[in-house]
Amino acid sequence: MTVLWVLLGLLALIFANVPIAVALGCASVAAMVLESGLRDLPNVPLTLFDGAVKFSLIAVPLFILAGAVMNACGISRRLIALTSALIGFVRGGLAMVTIGTSLFFAEISGSAVADVAALGSVLIPSMKRKGYSKEFAAAVCSSASTLAIIIPPSIPMILYAVMSGASVVEMFVAGIIPGVLGGLLLMVVAYRMAVNRGFPADTAFAWQRVRRTFRDAAWALLLPVIILGGIFSGWVTATEGAGLAVLAATVIGAGVYRELDWGALRRAIVEGAIQTAVVMLLVSTSALLGEYLTAAQVPQKFAAQLLSFTDSQWAVLLLLNFFFLAIGLFLHSAAAIILVVPIVMPLVQQAGIDPVHFGLVLALNLGIGQQTPPVASVLLTACSIAKAQVWDVSRVNVAFIGVLLAVLLLVTYVPAVPMVLVDAFFR
């Protein structure tokens, strides 16, 4: 009975706009006092501290830092120039460039909001200058950045791996095919829309330009090779790979390109530290609730209940998809992962779903969640850069969300799409 009250109390606090991390903490402390009086209270700070001591999560601030360094030293600008030389000649060229650069960029930075801020601040104004509507510009930038969630390295994937016990590296590998596929499909849709709306190409194709921009961006292109090569080959762990990313970005930015905007870097580091702390506080207070829920066997009972209705993997996945799409409307992806993963994991395992496969389904769901208002961090960032209204952008964005949903269905019901590389190299 206490469980029900605790969960209801948690919901009430969240609805009253108490920060989710604090709501988690309060609900768990209340549960503790109800169950065993004041005896266990002194354990609260210990559990809180130990909840934050997680070596694998060090990758989160480090990948954010790597992204900040890259932005501060002009790596994003060079990537945009190269992609523009390669695919800018087709109709709707700048939209293609946005999607293409997002694909590249997602391989170095770990966060979709960071991507949309970095690329959008350059590409959305140029699209507007070329006569694209601001709604289209914001929509394409926002949807393309969502790919960062499923293309390695990805902060939501790291969080999921830590909360569920799945391997970070396998999660990263599973994201490759769906990510590239999603990027290509987005390009097809953007092309169709560009033709219909008469958006121009960016520039004519010239080998000379490709050669020049390639030479300029070559070092930047080395970054994903170093980071992902190091992680996938098992040479370094994901966390160490994140450290390597910071080092490589700094060396290339300060040593090779010799342009590092210190002021911007400082701001970005503080911003990154705050983002990290927000997520980490959630992780640590969820450790409090986790202890309580595990002791009360809540996740196991929930799994048993649901599986007594149906034991089909596909039905369970369908239910979870609906559940996560609904949650994605209202919750930030990190909060959703931390709240929900510990509760549904036993269900996923008992239904015989591979945790890596499920992780990718979850990542895609929450990625779509970032595109759907009211709570849509990526979309809102894009809208504020484009100075466009959220609902107007959303109307254009429906087509792109359709693509993401198609990829989600494919990943959910054809497990080979995410899993074939994982099976080939790691199992």
Partner 1 sequence: MIGITVSLAMLVIVGVASRKAGFSLVWYDEVAAILLAWLTYYGAALAALRHAHLGLPNLVQAAPPRARRALLVARETVVIGFFSLTAWMGWKLLAALGGTFLVSLPWLPAGVVYSAVPVGAVLFVICELCAMPERWSGEAAE
Q: Report residue 361 as tokens.
A: 């389904």
- Residues from 286 through 345 that contact partner 1 (CB under 8 A): 330-332, 334-335
Spatial CA neighbour of 178 closest among 405, 343, 424:
405
Q: Is 352 exposed, middle or buried (0-12, 13-18, 19+ CB in 10 A)?
A: exposed
Find out whether the peptide bond into 224 is cis, omega within 30 degrees of 0: no
**CB closer to partner 1, 15 vs 207:** 15
Is residue 204 a contact point for partner 1 (CB under 8 A)? no
Let me know: does 256 contact 74? Beta carbons within 8 Å: no
| Interface pick for partner 1 out of 4, 16, 204, 424 (rule CB under 8 A) | 16
Spatial CA neighbour of 411 closest among 349, 366, 350:
366
Is residue 7 a contact point for partner 1 (CB under 8 A)? no
| Interface pick for partner 1 out of 3, 58, 122, 307 (rule CB under 8 A) | 58
- Minimum CB separation of residue 136 from partner 1 in Å reads 27
- Residues from 210 through 239 that contact partner 1 (CB under 8 A): 236, 239
Let me know: does 105 contact 80? Beta carbons within 8 Å: no
What does the angle CA 411 – CA 372 – CA 137 come to, to the nearest 5 degrees? 95
Q: Report residue 329 as tokens.
A: 């409307």
- Residues from 21 through 40 that contact partner 1 (CB under 8 A): 21-23, 25-26, 29
Let me know: does 116 contact 137? Beta carbons within 8 Å: no
Spatial CA neighbour of 141 closest among 155, 129, 125, 130:
125
Taken in order 287, 288, 291, 296, is the CA torsion positive or negative? negative
* Segment near partner 1 (CB under 8 A); pick from 53-61, 141-149, 151-159, 359-367: 53-61
- Minimum CB separation of residue 138 from partner 1 in Å reads 21
Query: How far is 155 from 161, CA to CA, in rounded Å?
Result: 10
Is residue 15 a contact point for partner 1 (CB under 8 A)? yes
**CB closer to partner 1, 49 vs 323:** 49
**CB closer to partner 1, 274 vs 295:** 274
* Segment near partner 1 (CB under 8 A); pick from 17-25, 92-100, 347-355, 399-407: 17-25
**CB closer to partner 1, 235 vs 314:** 235
Q: How far is CA 295 from CA 53, 285, 287, 291, in A?
A: 21, 16, 12, 6
Query: How far is 277 from 242, CA to CA, in rounded Å?
Result: 17
* Segment near partner 1 (CB under 8 A); pick from 43-51, 70-78, 171-179, 349-357: 43-51
Spatial CA neighbour of 109 closest among 60, 66, 61:
66
| Interface pick for partner 1 out of 1, 37, 45, 196 (rule CB under 8 A) | 45
Query: If residue 29 lies in a helix (H) or strand (E), which one and from where to where?
Result: helix 20-36
**CB closer to partner 1, 198 vs 374:** 374
Query: How far is 398 from 139, CA to CA, in rounded Å?
Result: 9
Size of the site for partner 1 (CB under 8 A): 60
**CB closer to partner 1, 62 vs 407:** 62
| Interface pick for partner 1 out of 54, 91, 130, 212 (rule CB under 8 A) | 54
- Residues from 352 through 391 that contact partner 1 (CB under 8 A): 374-375
| Interface pick for partner 1 out of 10, 61, 119, 161 (rule CB under 8 A) | 61
**CB closer to partner 1, 14 vs 421:** 14
**CB closer to partner 1, 276 vs 321:** 276
* Segment near partner 1 (CB under 8 A); pick from 51-59, 87-95, 186-194, 349-357: 51-59
* Segment near partner 1 (CB under 8 A); pick from 11-19, 104-112, 202-210, 381-389: 11-19
- Minimum CB separation of residue 37 from partner 1 in Å reads 14
Enumerate helices (H) and strands (E) in the chain, giving the number of each.
20, 0
- Minimum CB separation of residue 153 from partner 1 in Å reads 14
Work out the number of other CB atoms within 10 angstroms of the CB of residue 408: 24
235 φ, ψ (degrees, to nearest 5)? -70, -40
Residue ranges of alpha helices (H) inside 151-261 are 155-164, 168-197, 207-232, 238-250
- Residues from 237 through 296 that contact partner 1 (CB under 8 A): 239-240, 242-244, 246-247, 266, 269-270, 272-278, 280-284
| Interface pick for partner 1 out of 31, 32, 57, 320 (rule CB under 8 A) | 57
Q: Which residues bind partner 1 (CB under 8 A)?
A: 13-23, 25-26, 29, 41-42, 44-46, 48-49, 52-55, 57-58, 61-62, 65, 236, 239-240, 242-244, 246-247, 266, 269-270, 272-278, 280-284, 330-332, 334-335, 374-375
